[in-house]
Amino acid sequence: MKVTERYPRETGRDYALRIIKDNIIRLGLPPGALISENELAAELGLSRTPVREALIELSKVGVIEIQPQKKSVVASIDYDLIEEARFMRKVLECEVVKLVCGIATEADIAKLRENLALQKFYLVQAPENLLSLDDAFHEMLFAIAKKNRVYALTRNLSIHFDRVRHMALTIVKDNKIVEDHERIVDAIAAGDEQSACAIMEKHLTRYKIDAAAIREKYPQYFND
């Protein structure tokens, strides 16, 4: 499991939640992995309470199964939950890009293109870093639209979607995800709400195209 440093002013609960989520998404804690509150608390330098709170939070969205008197278990990947997360993101992000088309400044578009340049670099050099850049790209869209709180509210349910996104980026290594981002930015720069929304919807459905390759690589991680 990969543990990064705690951010300044980050609460123990938020720190534990961030580390657990990141490791679940990146398969540092794969489906079926057992999580000991005591061991994780010691590894993070926390008491058991914030670790327990983080696990309870993740159990509410079905990514952790808490077993009384036993270790918690990382849940298998459920395509029904992935589809719920995708539906939520499609509804929200299509509206977000429409808003962005009308208000994005040249500076906003320049920042999006800077992110794109990094995506193109890491697609070739280190595809495992693409997920963070992908997240940053979508977060920037919400920020431009002044919907930061909405973005924050979506993050826990999005973990189901993010797990297969990470697999797709590292296994399939398909540059169409980066191409989608570039086309979205071009549509925003042109003020084309309809095209931006259509590209975003297609973009958020690409995991279905990669499903067979992902299942072939990790059949043990999925609910059938």
Q: How many beta carbons lie within 10 A of that of residue 55, not counting itself?
A: 20
Residue 151, pLDDT > 90, answer: yes
In this structure, are 92 and 41 located in the same domain?
no
Find out whether 85 and 161 touch, Cβ atoms under 8 Å.
Answer: yes
pTM of the model: 0.87
Residue 8 three-state SS: coil
Residue 173, pLDDT > 70, answer: no
The range of the structural domain enclosing residue 47 comes to 12-74
In this structure, are 210 and 107 located in the same domain?
yes
Domain boundary among 30, 52, 74: 74
Cross-strand partners of 72: 35
Domain annotation covers residue 3: no
| pLDDT for 14 | 95
Domain annotation covers residue 202: yes
**Residue 37 contacts by C-beta under 8 Å, 6 or more apart in sequence?**
48, 51, 52, 55, 71, 72
In this structure, are 35 and 134 located in the same domain?
no
pLDDT band at 172 (very low <50, low <70, confident <90, very high): low
pLDDT band at 52 (very low <50, low <70, confident <90, very high): very high
Which of these ranges, 31-45, 147-161, 208-222, has the smallest mean pLDDT? Answer: 208-222
Q: Tell which wins on pLDDT, 224 or 83.
A: 83
In this structure, are 104 and 215 located in the same domain?
yes
In this structure, are 50 and 92 located in the same domain?
no
Q: How far apart are CA 67 and CA 162, in angstroms?
A: 24
| pLDDT for 128 | 76
In this structure, are 48 and 66 located in the same domain?
yes
Residue 36, pLDDT > 90, answer: yes
Q: How far apart are CA 89 and CA 109, in angstroms?
A: 21
Residue 219, pLDDT > 90, answer: no
Domain annotation covers residue 87: yes
In this structure, are 124 and 211 located in the same domain?
yes
Q: How far apart are CA 160 and CA 106, in angstroms?
A: 34
Q: How far apart are CA 191 and CA 97, in angstroms?
A: 10
How many independent structural domains does the chain possess?
Answer: 2
CATH, residue 16 = 1.10.10.10
Domain annotation covers residue 1: no
Residue 210, pLDDT > 80, answer: no
| pLDDT for 199 | 97
Domain boundary among 57, 74, 91: 74
Domain annotation covers residue 175: yes
| pLDDT for 109 | 98
In this structure, are 205 and 105 located in the same domain?
yes
